[in-house]
Amino acid sequence: MAVKKVVSTPKDIKKKAVAVKKVAVVKKVAVKKALPVVKKVVVKAAPVATTGVIERVTSGITDLDEVMEGGFEKKSAVLVSGGGGSGKTIFGMQFLMEGITKFNETGVYISFEENKAKFYKHMLRFGWDLTKLESEGRFVFIEYDPEEMVEIVESGGGAIGQELIQVNGKRIVIDSLSAYTVLFDREADQRRKLVDLFTMIESWDATTVVIAEENPSIEHFKSSIMGFMADAIIYLYNVIRENVMIRAIQIAKMRGTKHTQKIFPIMIGETGIKAYPTQDIFEYNFDKK
């Protein structure tokens, strides 16, 4: 007998998450009883690469996985940082589409800044029909104001965790961390709120890509406050050479992983990002397809 998959709409998820902040501590027991009963959903288990005792989740960019022992550590938080036009959003969506199309995992995109209609339209350029996937319960787009996310984090984020279980959300993208940290003037407050956010992420039983808007220097490495809690840091660069912009990628940090130290070119094509780890960023003879 077929098992019907339980799916919540983005509106339902947001409503339940924001409502948590209004519940007093003395009513925690009542809140727990009020949560919807989660039906067990039978899904295809996502195969993961293994290296020793570390399970890995593929990134969706095959040539990138090859230089970081097969992928991201399962249930890790990966910070993807870069300037405008460097490919951060595409990187995040390609990671989600890997889970959706290959492992029957629902992709969850939590946005603080993206306009949903424009986002869906732009992703169609890569063949990713998010409207269709959403109607099938395979993709969830959740919009929050950064202030709302602060309140949810302070409440512990329990409602979001429950909904992620319901939709089988094992791959999550948060866009962007910069909109969250800009709310705090003092570095001490930023660190405290980042600890709270990443603690909530760790409780989700998922692998999460966290996007940050920064302009890292390709010549002078400097770790930012946003990276100190992440399990891995990936920098995306826009490099100008002879009046041509070249995109490049660097794995700056990845706990428990032997990874390449090289900065190498990437290209954004019709199906997303393709990486060229054997090429130098100033060589122009790599495949442009």
Domain spans of the chain? 55-275
Return the CATH number of the domain spanning residue range 55-275. 3.40.50.300
| Phi and psi angles of residue 230, each rounded to the nearest 5 degrees, phi first | -75, 150
Candidates 194, 198, 281, 193; CA nearest to 241 is 281
**Average pLDDT of 185-211?**
90
263: region left, alpha or beta (phi > 0 left; psi from -120 to 50 alpha)? beta
pLDDT at residue 129 greater than cutoff 80:
yes
pLDDT at position 122 is 96
223-266 per-position pLDDT tens digit: 666 777 899 999 999 988 888 889 999 999 999 999 999 999 99
**Average pLDDT of 137-155?**
88
How does strand 264-269 pair with strand 77-82? unpaired
pLDDT at position 278 is 94
pLDDT at position 44 is 53
Neighbour tally for 136: CB within 10 Å: 13
pLDDT at position 218 is 64
Total-model pTM:
0.79
Structure tokens at 53: 């005792």
The DSSP string of 10-48 is: HHHHHHHHHHGGGS-GGGHHHHHHHSPPPPP---PPPP-
Pick the more confident residue, 2 or 56: 56
Q: Any idea what the Cα angle at residue 233 is, between residues 232 and 237, rounded to 5°?
A: 155
Pick the more confident residue, 262 or 218: 262
Q: Which residue has the tokens 């230089």?
A: 67
pLDDT at position 250 is 95
**Average pLDDT of 2-27?**
49
pLDDT at position 219 is 59
Pick the more confident residue, 272 or 288: 272
Of 26-30, 66-70, 175-179, the poorest mean pLDDT is in 26-30
Compute the mean pLDDT over every residue in the chain, rounded to the nearest whole number. Answer: 81
127: region left, alpha or beta (phi > 0 left; psi from -120 to 50 alpha)? left
220 pLDDT band, cuts 50/70/90, is low
Instruction: Pinpoint the alpha helices (H) of 46-157.
Output: 62-65, 88-103, 116-123, 130-135, 146-155
Q: How far, in Å, CA of 52 to CA of 22, rounded?
A: 45
- CB of 70 within 8 A of CB of 256? no
pLDDT at residue 76 greater than cutoff 50:
yes
pLDDT at position 17 is 54
